[in-house]
Structure 1
Amino acid sequence: MNLLMVNDSTFQGSIRQQGVTMVDFGAPWCPPCKVLKPLLDELGSEYGEKIALLEVNCDESPATASDYGIMSMPTVLVFNNGEPVEKLIGLRPKAVYENLIAKYI
């Protein structure tokens, strides 16, 4: 499962109201974002339908980035049942994301 690209107009409707949604806030020109993307794709493959994975291009969706106080990229927000519950700023090892998912599924 690949990351679903969302924008200012589709973001809210894409967050799962039941279960876990991980949102990657980044930009195509950001080197750590390029490293994170395949890692999140792996998580998507491993967890399948248990989680939703969304991607927000901060350059194209500044309102959404601003709403969630995104100051640096990449930032991963974890939503549980529609509410933001965790925020990871910067690139982290895959195990950190796995542990975060495990907390909520």
Structure 2
Amino acid sequence: MVKLTKENFEEEVLNSEGIVLVDFWSESCDLCLEIMPGVEKLAEKYSDNVKFTKLNIKGNRRLAMGQKVMGLPSILIYVDGEKKVHLSGEDLEVEAIEAELKKVL
């Protein structure tokens, strides 16, 4: 998984062709840490077709807010630099992430 920062977000996500999944997370978000292994398994499964990235919002809050990420965990899926899917909330599950991924593939 590509680690994103405010320095490389535009290049890795907005200027990227194809499908990019961004996992917005924080060390203080228990659910983020809980679903992370599942997201990493998806990254292995779909690595041929999807670029998987993650952004720790610590130090990147403005960037997260600019992408309308107001709660954690949040998974955003971009296609050719355009945001197509925004999943978030306390009931977010890896199965829902995979279902949305399949829709854009």
Normalization by structure 2: what TM-score?
A: 0.90
Contact 2:19 2:51 (C-alpha < 8 Å) held by counterparts: yes
Q: In structure 2, what is the Cα distance between the partners aligned to 1:74 and 1:26? A: 6
Contact 2:20 2:50 (C-alpha < 8 Å) held by counterparts: yes
Q: Matched residue of 2:47: which SS?
A: helix
* C-alpha deviation, 1:99, in angstroms: 1.3
Name the structure 1 match of 2:33.
34
Name the structure 2 match of 1:47.
46
Name the structure 1 match of 2:21.
22
Q: Runs of 5+ in structure 1 lacking a partner? A: none
Contact 1:8 1:62 (C-alpha < 8 Å) held by counterparts: no
* C-alpha deviation, 1:46, in angstroms: 0.6
Q: Runs of 5+ in structure 2 lacking a partner? A: none
Amino acid at match of 1:61: N
Instruction: Indicate the RMSD between aligned Cα atoms, in angstroms.
Output: 1.3
Percent identity between the aligned chains? Answer: 20
For residues 32-59 of structure 1, the C-alpha deviation after alignment (integer angstroms, 9 at most, x for no partner) is 0101210110001111221011111111
Q: In structure 2, what is the Cα distance between the partners aligned to 1:73 and 1:94? A: 14
Q: In structure 1, what is the Cα distance between the partners aligned to 2:35 and 2:82? A: 23
Amino acid at match of 2:2: L
Name the structure 2 match of 1:69.
68
